Amino acid sequence: MNFKFNQALMFTATSLSLLIAGCSQSNVANTASSPSKETKSKPSENSIEIWPTLDIAVKPDEKIEQRIADLLGKMTLAQKVAQTIQPEIRDITLEDMRTYGFGSYLNGGGAFPNGDKHALPSDWVALAEKMYQASIDDSIDGSTIPTMWGTDAVHGHNNVIGATLFPHNIGLGATHNPALIEDIAKATAEEVLATGIDWIFAPTVATVRDDRWGRTYEGYSEDPEIVRLYSASIVKGLQGRANSNFLGERQVISTVKHFIGDGGTIGGDDQGNNIADEQTLFDIHAQGYVGGLTAGAQTVMASFNSWKGDKVHGNQYLLTSVLKERMGFDGFVVGDWNGHGQIPGCSNESCPQAMNAGLDVFMVPTGAWKPLLENTIAQVKSGEISEARLDDAVTRILRVKLRAGLFDKPAPAKRVLSGDKDIIGSPEHRAVARQAVRESLVLLKNHQQLLPLSPNANVLVAGGGADNIGQQSGGWSITWQGTGNTNQDFPGGTSIYQGIKQAVSHAKGHVELATDGKFTQRPDVAIVVFGEQPYAEGNGDLDNLEYQRGNKTDLALLKSLKDQGIPVVSIFLTGRPLWVNPELNASDAFVVAWLPGTEGGGVADVLFSTENAELKHDFKGKLSFSWPKSPTQTNINRFDKNDTALLPYGFGLKYGEKSTLGNALSEETNRDSAQAISSLAIYDRSVQAPWKMALVTTQKSKTVASSMLENAELKFRTIDRRVQEDAFKIDWLSENAGQMRIYHDFLQDLRSYTEANSAIQFDYFLNSPIDAPLWLQVNCAETCTSDIDLRAHMQQQPTWQTLSVDLACFAQNATDFSKVGIPFALRSQGLLSLSLSDIRIVPHAANKADIGCPTE
């Protein structure tokens, strides 16, 4: 194989040291550590020397520091706390902004002015203007400090109709082109400014180690090298350069996120637990911060994930000692979407722990902002949060606002680019995006040099992704999940089919679109566009990497064309490397297009030559992620020694290069992967990530966030069985009372467990007789539940016992195991006191289960 690596990017001194670090990482036992209650720093285990002090491009400025001190000296406690509260546009009114003067606010993914998906740039600017005016209106709160608006422009200004959507980061990683990344960032900044917005929650600088993670596509690479370089480029593009146009009128504030370790959680679980040792945390997961903070990024978003069991939002060592004190970050740390509420002992409404740990701004969408504001004020009054800590947080916020010129700039409606609708989706920006699409395409296979195609040919375009701008754009596209859109929601955009049509109609060729492959005129070649449906965050988490497991409709389409003797070119839309050996075998040429965004024309640019058979554009893309050779090869990464990928990091054919894959790759799905799956711990001393526990009553559902929770119907309390607090007791206090539920907001794919004949097991101790039905429930969504009465199978005994139920019983009833939201819930119809521990799903235990189910 002939790999042409970009010399500038390869094998620098750092990557060699990472080689060593990478090896040591594989020695880390891959066991879930039980989350510790301790959220403070543990000095004995920490090695601050690992972290360098960064040479940050933006230096402190005497005048700004003086202005901050003057402002701070005049602020009341309530005004200060308001600076630390960031509500969401769906949960506040202008009056709230006038009354409290929040330091900032956001619109979440898929949140628009007036709730209108088709809001115009002028509507966005109008909201920005009104919020700004309300914030500087001192009639109620006495404050004139301007607020600022943050948005997730993560691949272009993706919440705005008509915006240029660039390829998602995984595609940009394949371009290996930091200069192009800076151009994309500049274009994004301009489109954001046209809507009156000040601040972007990007770039995501996760180094993604396990491709099952639903946010894999938000990462540039599995290797820190590109992440570090790109982070610096994008920050310079968004904010401008330190000594020239820094935060000038064409720039926005940027955020490096999510600090830290989001890409390295066990099993690729979104919001999960990263157990890397500290050197690895720096070498692998911190490099995006090294790049981005050095370039002057002004904000850092704390991550939902834990490090060694402790939520980063409450981790003083990481947020304060490492990030601020040691690395020298002097901007502010913003939380993620109610992330503070996940710290043990906190709720969305109250969390002194987070601010004490070093969080400066609470991202608090939902109505929780009001109690949080009030509680935080009370906590500073009582000394639970020191005044010095609050002052430090506000100092940091004001520093960023002053650096961004917010006090001196005109109001949003009067800024240079505001309301300029020609900027949104401008031809110049689309040209940059189209170039990025071209450069991101990775050619995996080109049997007998089928590509490039002649534009004079008779071309069939097939596949569900062919004329589908929503699918080619992925998550974070107009809506949060990227679902529910049609091509009309992307005015000015081009589907892959439309791009092909333009290229071919230009020559004397012929194109037919038939998504199901049923052509009317026999083609010379078929281009089939298919791949993942859009998703965002935990909704995209997988349990292995097999494409279309159990439902290979795209493979059937490829095969039907091949069986008719038609050469097949596959264009694969995906947010991550997936196991596609059968699809590769059924394709003559195979191109990974990732999630290219709105400029689908970039695909045809590379697929077709000129009419005179001259190349227009060669393939440039190289994998920035290793490509798996089996569904379970989920966390193979560059420099891994013991395992080989199907195609390694850096792979990507050019025209004329010999294609090596052949048509006979193993199609063995490795059902032993089902064999090899291990028990799934749901409750093991505590609820295991990603699951959470809640008490659900007729009134409401309350997440269990500490060792005790009680309402009129149910009482929860942790108890000691083998060790401290490794079990819990539930009392049903009234008849037909509520449910104890283990759940996750994002549906999990547990099919491998039903395929492996698993049983759901738990240990119990009856503290009272059981004389009414006790319903065990496994739920995939509200409409998809199945209950089994356990009463007849449980006895009161003086010891703990195990009860085991065949999972198939639930599958037979209604539960769809591809999307499980609740793997375990109990509801008693009568009064009952029951202790529980060790809730798990155990493979190959179905035939020995206490409650069996007939198998078909």
**Positions in the binding site for ligand BGC (CB under 6 A):** 106, 108-111, 152, 201, 257, 336-337, 480, 537
Q: CB–CB of 204/219 below 8 Å? A: yes
Dihedral pair phi/psi, residue 429, rounded to 5°: -70, -40
Residue 610 is given by DSSP the state -
> Closest approach of Cβ 299 to ligand BGC, in Å?
11
Q: Which residues contact 376 (CB under 8 A, 6 or more apart)?
A: 81, 84, 85, 350, 352, 355, 362, 385
Q: Which residues contact 63 (CB under 8 A, 6 or more apart)?
A: none
3-class secondary structure, 848: helix
What's the rounded Cα separation, in Å, for the pair 214 and 195? Answer: 29
- The token duo for 717 is 């309390």
Residue whose CB is less far from ligand BGC, 257 or 313 = 257
> Closest approach of Cβ 90 to ligand BGC, in Å?
8
- The token duo for 299 is 């904000």
Any idea what the Cα angle at residue 82 is, between residues 78 and 88, rounded to 5°?
Answer: 150
> Closest approach of Cβ 700 to ligand BGC, in Å?
19
Which run of H or of E encompasses 510?
A: strand 510-513
What's the rounded Cα separation, in Å, for the pair 161 and 112? Answer: 10
What's the rounded Cα separation, in Å, for the pair 469 and 485? Answer: 8
HSE at residue 834, side-chain half, CA atoms within 13 A, is 27
Residue whose CB is less far from ligand BGC, 479 or 804 = 479
What's the rounded Cα separation, in Å, for the pair 516 and 528? Answer: 10
Annotated active-site residue 336? The verdict is: yes
Residue whose CB is less far from ligand BGC, 156 or 499 = 156
What's the rounded Cα separation, in Å, for the pair 7 and 747? Answer: 42
What's the rounded Cα separation, in Å, for the pair 599 and 813? Answer: 45
DSSP string, 436-484: HHHHH-EEEEEGGG-PSBPTTSEEEEESTTTT-HHHHH-SSBSBSSS-S
Residue whose CB is less far from ligand BGC, 297 or 558 = 297
What's the rounded Cα separation, in Å, for the pair 179 and 653? Answer: 22
> Closest approach of Cβ 77 to ligand BGC, in Å?
28
Q: Which of 152, 349, 537, 546 is catalytic?
A: 537
> Closest approach of Cβ 539 to ligand BGC, in Å?
10
Residue whose CB is less far from ligand BGC, 106 or 247 = 106
Nearest residue (beta carbon) to ligand BGC? 108
- Per-residue buried b or exposed e for 546-564, using 16+ beta carbons within 10 Å of the residue's own CB: bbbbeebebbebbbbbbee
Annotated active-site residue 537? The verdict is: yes
- The token duo for 168 is 């998602």
Residue whose CB is less far from ligand BGC, 152 or 190 = 152
HSE at residue 652, side-chain half, CA atoms within 13 A, is 25
What's the rounded Cα separation, in Å, for the pair 363 and 353? Answer: 15
Residue whose CB is less far from ligand BGC, 105 or 480 = 480
What's the rounded Cα separation, in Å, for the pair 469 and 834? Answer: 52
> Closest approach of Cβ 226 to ligand BGC, in Å?
20
Q: CB–CB of 632/673 below 8 Å? A: yes
Angle between helices 13-26 and 224-239 (to 10 degrees): 120
Q: Which of 152, 182, 336, 713 is catalytic?
A: 336
> Closest approach of Cβ 815 to ligand BGC, in Å?
24
> Closest approach of Cβ 480 to ligand BGC, in Å?
4
Residue 807 is given by DSSP the state T
Residue whose CB is less far from ligand BGC, 107 or 175 = 107
Beta strand 306-307 with 273-274: parallel, antiparallel or unpaired? parallel
Residue whose CB is less far from ligand BGC, 104 or 688 = 104
> Closest approach of Cβ 118 to ligand BGC, in Å?
17
Q: Which of 441, 531, 546 is nearest to 482 (CA)?
A: 531
> Closest approach of Cβ 294 to ligand BGC, in Å?
22
> Closest approach of Cβ 481 to ligand BGC, in Å?
9
Which run of H or of E encompasses 784?
A: strand 784-789
Residue whose CB is less far from ligand BGC, 537 or 599 = 537
Q: Which residues contact 619 (CB under 8 A, 6 or more apart)?
A: 441, 442, 443, 591, 606, 652, 653, 654, 655
What's the rounded Cα separation, in Å, for the pair 816 and 750? Answer: 9
3-class secondary structure, 809: helix
What's the rounded Cα separation, in Å, for the pair 136 and 150? Answer: 17
Residue whose CB is less far from ligand BGC, 206 or 760 = 206
* Residues classed as catalytic: 336, 537
